[in-house]
Amino acid sequence: MRFDLVEELCRLVRVRSEVTVAEDGRILRSNYDEAVKAVVQLAEKGGLEAEVVELEAVGGRVPAVLVEGPGAGPSLALVSHYDVVPARGPWRLGGVEYDPYDPRVVDGRVYGRGAADDKSAIVASLAALAELAEEGGPLRYKPSVVVTGDEEVGGLGVRALLDAGYRWDRAIILDAGAEYVSVGASGVVFGWIRVRGRSGHAGYPHRAVNPVEGAVRLAHELLSTYKPHRASKLSRFGAPPGSPVPRVWGRFSLTIFKLAPGEPEKHNRIPSEALLGFDVRLLPEEGLEEALSELYSFVSSASAKLGVEAEVTAWGQPGWYAKDEEFVREVVGAARRAYRAVGIEGEVGVAAELGGNDGTFFDAVGIPVVAFGAIRSESNVHSENEFVHVRDLLMLKEFVKSVLKPSGA
């Protein structure tokens, strides 16, 4: 049975399946069971059988949905996620306010939290499998739509699924851009630099050691030394369209500056601890341990130079890059055919992601992986007025069908 992709996407967007990490490290999940139920209902509407897999991830349960399609060849995982980053409304579109979870369809776009990232991929992949089952005929792969949660907090759902022993011969991450086929993604290191001092009265600064001022000086030193060092690292993989340099490069950003938990925020009090939050982006082929060691070395050197007491707490995941060139060619060909099928002009590029995605975890267990999706650079992912083009929703459905059909079919 064929269904209306826009209508079904709007139905999924209405589920507020948010996830975030609290300041104390707890993972806060909302409406996961409702999201899973909606995905199962969509699969069943398309005449497909869905299996719900109960998974235990860090901080609680994260159910996944597996939907197998027709076919008898090598297995292919089509990977997406139902969780979204929190959205606080109202949003404003054309002068009209609306709730981020009450989607709007305007000028060929579906607006709402998760419309692009990544519920578009859920709808497109299930619609493709439903149409292929209805059409019949041989397929190149045995497809399985894999929908997990916790992608937005480090891919905990996919990690739990793979840790439980689930495997496929190949995988395509559909949580990806539509302008190019991704043959890799950046690794990430993030965390805190804790600067310690000695609290005191602001009227008597000579009796205190000010960690805020120490953190400012340390931040300036790292931005002057570590940031350009990271930027000098260049990958062998091309960067996405519109990037300032042609190849993926190393990046360092200071993203948060605040007092340590429990420190009173008072203008006349010098605190005892301040925190700098940071984000480091690795090259797809860069080792995680090497990157962590480099970070610790730069912070240690800068702290010693400035006489600042600082401690780093960091977490991370490596990047990945495609290792099966034949699979890459298949996916690029399918993407180009999908463009033509829906009348999108232009060429599909090949590049590596500046961000990360769940491909890391498939690569880590030896499953060849690439990525392609419906997200455009202008889709406002994680921001207000997130949207997906209806034509890209249709394009992604055609892409999945093209990947699965034998050459020339």
167 and 220 both lie in a single domain: no
Please identify which of the residues 151, 179, 221, 286 carries the catalytic annotation.
Answer: 151
Active site includes 102?
no
Task: Provide the number of structural domains found in the chain.
Answer: 2
pLDDT tens digits, one per residue of 19-43: 998 878 889 999 999 999 999 999 9
**Does one domain contain both 276 and 341?**
no
Note whether 218 and 175 are same-domain residues.
no
Q: Is the pLDDT of residue 409 over 70?
A: no
pLDDT tens by residue, 97-146: 999 999 999 999 999 999 999 999 999 999 999 999 999 989 999 999 99
Q: Which of 317, 349, 364 is the last residue of a domain?
A: 317
Q: List the CATH number of the domain containing 199.
A: 3.30.70.360
Domain final position from 294, 317, 340: 317
Distance CA 223, CA 245 (A): 19
pTM of the prediction? 0.90
* Residue 409 in domain: no
3-state helix, strand, coil in the chain (%, to 5): 35, 30, 40
Quickly list H helices, 246-389.
288-306, 325-342, 359-364
- pLDDT, greater one: 137 or 371: 371
Task: Name the pLDDT band for 71 (thresholds 50, 70, 90).
Answer: confident
Q: Is residue 14 located within the same domain as residue 47?
A: yes
Domain that holds residue 41: 5-185+320-404
Q: How far apart are the first and last CA of the chain?
A: 21
- Is the CB of residue 373 less than 8 Å from the CB of residue 118? yes
Residues 152 and 23 grouped into a single domain: yes
Question: Catalytic residue among 18, 83, 152, 386, which?
Answer: 83
**What does the radius of gyration of the chain's CA atoms come to, in whole angstroms?**
23
| Inter-residue long-range contacts of 294-297, CB under 8 Å, 24+ positions, other chains counted | 295/189, 295/226
Judge if 151 and 242 occupy the same domain: no
Residues 192 and 161 in one domain: no
Q: Are residues 312 and 399 in the same domain?
A: no
335 and 309 share a domain? Answer: no
Asked whether 211 and 199 are in contact (CB, 8 A), the reply is no
Is 273 marked active-site?
no
| Domain final residue pick, 317, 340, 358 | 317
